[in-house]
Amino acid sequence: MIKGISEAGVHEVNLVVNDEHRQLHLPPWVTLLDALRNHLGLTGTKKGCDHGQCGACTVICDDERILSCLTLATMKDGSNITTIEGIGSEDELHPLQSAFIEHDAFQCGYCTPGQICSGVAMLAAGRGDTREEIQDLMSGNLCRCGANTNIIDAIIAVKNQSK
């Protein structure tokens, strides 16, 4: 039986997180989400379920949006990860971040980083042509506060800006 961390071994994991090279030494069972939050102090990425059911932990990995709670950190060795902290800063907000503020697309703010990462990656992939399509493509990101319509409005506003 696996007794603990020492017997499972510690693996070197190299990630580029928000354009910065980060080297971690982690047991294999550490998720990318916990690696970001507990080991790199990047708590902008949220944990809403740890089971791939809420989207709060969405990050962008090599241009794809992924659920970091369903991803072991070691699986992403060598990957490029963008978290909410890398999308924009307070002085230089990404247009979608500004649109979220303008459209009041959040209340408690807990689902927000996941929504924004998801929206940014979706737009970058050139997807979401209609409101309905955007609603469908964003449906992996739950919002318990019910900011749904404002979130979709914000995404559409940014999509229209870039046209």
Partner 1 sequence: MKKQNSIGQPYRRIEGALKVTGRAKYAAEYQVEDLLYGYVVNSKITKGRIESIDESATRAVDGVVEVFHHDNRSSLPRFDLLYSDMDAPPGSPFRPLYDNKIQFAGQPVAFVVAETFEAARYAASLLTVHYAEEEFDVDLKANMDKARDPSKGLATFIKPLPPGPRGDFEKAYAAADERFEGKFHHGSQHHNPMEMFATTTVYEGDGKLTIYDKTQGTSNSQIYVSNLFGLSMSDVRVIAPFVGGGFGSGLRPQYQLVFSVMAALELKRNVRVSMDRRQMFTFGHRPETFQHTRFGATKDGTLTAINHEAFAETSNFEDYNEVVVNHANMLYPADNVTLDYKLIPLDRFTPMDMRAPGGSTGMLAIETTMDQLADQLDLDPLEFRLRNYAERDVSSDKPFSSKELKECYRQGAERFGWNERQPTAKKVRRGNRLVGHGMSSGIWDVIALPGKATATFTAEGKLIVESAVTDNGQGTYTVMTQIAADQLGLPLESVSFKYGDSKHPLSPIQGGSYTTGVIGSAVKAACLKLKDKLFHLAQIMDGYPLGDALPEDTIFTDGAIILKKDPSVRIPLTDIIAFNRGEAVSVSKSNVPNLLKIKQYTRAAHAATFVEVEVDEQLGVINVTRAVTAVAAGKIMNPKTARSQILGGMVWGISMALREETLLDNNLGKYVNTDLGEYHIPVHADVHQLDVIFVPEEDRIINELGAKGIGEIGVISMAPAIVNAVYNATGKLVKVFPIKLGDLL
Binding to partner 1 by residue 101, rule CB under 8 A? yes
3-state secondary structure the chain: CCCCHHHHCCEEEEEEECCEEEEEEECCCCEHHHHHHHHCCCCCCCCCCCCCCCCCCEEEECCEEEEHHHCEHHHHCCCEEECHHHHCCCCCCCHHHHHHHHCCCCCCCCCHHHHHHHHHHHHHCCCCCCHHHHHHHCCCCCCCCCCHHHHHHHHHHHHHHCC
Binding piece for partner 1, criterion CB under 8 A, among 45-53, 60-68, 73-81, 122-130: 45-53
Q: Is 51 exposed, middle or buried (0-12, 13-18, 19+ CB in 10 A)?
A: exposed
The binder of partner 1 chosen from 53, 64, 77, 125 (CB under 8 A):
53
Binding piece for partner 1, criterion CB under 8 A, among 9-17, 60-68, 70-78, 92-100: 92-100
Closest of 7, 159, 12 to residue 95, by C-alpha:
159
The binder of partner 1 chosen from 15, 37, 71, 159 (CB under 8 A):
37
The binder of partner 1 chosen from 11, 16, 148, 156 (CB under 8 A):
148
Binding to partner 1 by residue 95, rule CB under 8 A? no
> From partner 1, ligand FES, none, which one binds at residue 69 (CB under 5 to 8 Å depending on kind)?
ligand FES
**Interface residues for partner 1 in 102-141 (CB under 8 A)?**
102, 104, 106-113, 116, 132, 134-136, 138-141
The binder of partner 1 chosen from 68, 152, 158, 159 (CB under 8 A):
152
Chain residues that interact with partner 1, rule: CB under 8 A: 3-7, 27, 29-30, 34, 37-38, 41-51, 53-54, 56, 83-85, 87-90, 93, 97, 100-102, 104, 106-113, 116, 132, 134-136, 138-152
